[in-house]
Amino acid sequence: MSFLALPPPYDFDLSTERFRAFGVDLANLWHEGGLHRIVGGREIRIERAPGGVDVDPLDDETRAVVLKLLGAEFELDPFYAWASGQPVLAGLVLRLAGFRPPLAPDPFESLVTSITAQQVSLFSAFAIRNRMTERFGDRGRHAYAFPARDRLARATEEQLVAVGFSVRKAEYVIGLARAEIDLDALAPLDDDEIRTRLTAIRGLGPWTAEWFLARHLARPRAWPAGDLVLRKAADVLYGLDVYELGRRLDPFQNLSAHYLLTGTRVVPAAA
DNA sequence: ACCCAGGCATTGG
DNA sequence: CCAATGCATGGG
């Protein structure tokens, strides 16, 4: 059990809320007060600790993945300073102080997760994704590794349909797994170039590309305007069109989106 | 038995 | 170019 510091402020319970909000997530498993995940073929456990987390076991690879997973790279101080003068967000950053949006450490996992969440409720998406993970991912003591890209490249549409995918989404996932694109090579590119390359792939639309920028690459200006919950928040909380709100939140669209979405769950009265 | 849910590609005008 | 349509499951 080794301590891993996170940049202050950091609130473990708020920052891991997403892993509990929609039921079980086998690849990011909440179990007995800690978060379990497979890193480098081994299961790790992450627990709350003052000023950061305790991680067991912890090596260099695990350190990097956990920092990514827990959103260590977000700069909260400039966001809070800006948000304190903003309607709605001023209240949310007080109520959600220390919330760091969790990120998807792996690009393929990020995209497949989004495909499963397209159009359907997140409860439904988690159920289907868990059956896929159980079927195609390696099992640890408690958690499962998210299915590897080369494993899904060898899967058949029928196998994915059997775990609850629509035929269309099964085609998307297998097509992505088998595509030529090097997903790690996207990281140095600018936002628009990444949007263009991702949406050229069948099954990856603007919403999916934007969440990739937001939840995998932590790009500050990523703004999933097509997101149903975000559109609703823009309308109900601001009385604005979601695109207009996105312009007003520049250059903090990503953190704003996460605070608005988490706020609707954690602070339903204020958001 | 409905209806909706953190989209997308496809088809038809 | 924009509107309409099908998709499969889980929860209400």
DSSP conformational letter for A32: T
Same-domain pairing of A139 and A204: yes
pLDDT digits 0-9 by tens, A119-134: 999 999 999 999 999 9
| A245: CATH | 1.10.1670.40
In a domain, A101, yes or no: no
Same-domain pairing of A64 and A13: yes
Query: What is the spatial distance, in angstroms and rounded to an integer, between the CA atom of A37 and the C1' atom of C12?
Result: 32
For residue A80, the enclosing domain spans 75-96+218-271
Same-domain pairing of A90 and A146: no
Same-domain pairing of A175 and A116: yes
Contacts of A206 (CB under 8 A, 6+ apart): A195, A199, A225, A226
In a domain, A102, yes or no: no
pLDDT for A269 beyond 80: no
The residue type of A13 is D
Instruction: Give helix A206-215 / helix A253-266 axis angle, nearest 10°.
Output: 90
pLDDT for A268 beyond 90: no
Mean pLDDT value across residues A229-257: 96
In a domain, A226, yes or no: yes
- Nucleotides on strand B with an atom closer than 7 A to protein CB? 4-10
pLDDT digits 0-9 by tens, A89-117: 999 999 999 999 999 999 999 999 999 99
DSSP conformational letter for A240: S
- Give the global pTM: 0.97
Query: What is the spatial distance, in angstroms and rounded to an integer, between the CA atom of A82 and the C1' atom of C9?
Result: 41
Mean pLDDT value across residues A27-50: 98
Same-domain pairing of A208 and A228: no
Closest protein CA to C1' of nucleotide B4, residue:
A121
Distance CA(A71)–CA(A113), nearest Å, equals 18
Same-domain pairing of A164 and A88: no
Q: Is the peptide bond before A188 cis (omega within 30 degrees of 0)?
A: no
Q: Which single residue is written with the structure tokens 């628009």?
A: A192
Q: How many domains does chain A have?
A: 3
Mean pLDDT value across residues A173-194: 98
